[in-house]
């Protein structure tokens, strides 16, 4: 069996091209992810996320650049503030219907108080 390793694939004219689709891995790869600051909606880095919309304190909508193949996603989120001394764990939970174009979520801590954390990350998988 042969192995091909490359950092960049080029078109025959020398221009860069998109990465090839690998059907066997398609179900195991994230369809979208984002790392952002919920206090000011600044997106630090993302994939297939066009924006995050502030709904209310601690509540946000993740907007996908390209629609997902199904509204039945599996997703996970994490949140926190650098230097936070409250000692309370964060919970990132579903806060509305999942669609092929958006995910509504909220960040809470302690006694279920909503909070606009400075570090929020969400990863979405969909078949």
Instruction: Return d(Cα 34, Cα 37) in angstroms, integer.
Output: 10
C-alpha distances out from residue 2 to 5, 39, 100, Å: 10, 49, 38
pTM of the model: 0.78
- Phi and psi for 101 in degrees, rounded to 5? -115, -10
Q: Is the pLDDT of residue 58 over 80?
A: yes
The pLDDT, as a whole number, for residue 88 is: 67
What pLDDT is attached to residue 18?
64
> Radius of gyration of the chain from Cα atoms?
18
| Biggest distance spanned by C-alpha atoms of the chain | 59
pLDDT at position 13: 77
Burial (CB count within 10 angstroms: exposed 0-12, middle 13-18, buried 19+), residue 38 = buried
By CB neighbour count within 10 A (0-12 exposed, 13-18 middle, 19+ buried), where does 61 fall?
middle
Q: Give pLDDT tens digits for 95-108.
A: 998 999 999 999 99
Q: What is the mean pLDDT of residues 91-119?
A: 92
Q: How far apart are CA 32 and CA 123, in angstroms?
A: 6
Specify the pLDDT at position 105: 97
Share of the chain above pLDDT 90, in %: 57
Q: What is the mean pLDDT of residues 57-67?
A: 96
What's the rounded mean pLDDT across residues 73-91? 81
């Amino acid at each position: 069996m042969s192995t091909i390793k490359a950092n960049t694939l080029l078109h025959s004219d020398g221009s860069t091209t998109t990465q090839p689709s690998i059907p066997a891995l398609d179900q195991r790869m994230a369809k979208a992810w984002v790392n952002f600051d919920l206090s000011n909606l600044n997106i630090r880095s993302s994939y297939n996320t066009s924006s995050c919309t502030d709904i209310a304190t601690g509540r946000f909508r993740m907007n996908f650049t390209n629609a997902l193949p199904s509204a039945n996603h599996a997703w996970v989120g994490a949140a926190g503030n650098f230097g936070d001394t409250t000692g309370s764990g964060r919970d990132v939970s579903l806060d509305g219907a999942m669609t092929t174009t958006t995910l509504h979520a909220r960040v809470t801590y302690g006694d279920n108080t909503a909070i606009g954390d400075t570090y929020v990350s969400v990863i979405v998988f969909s078949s």
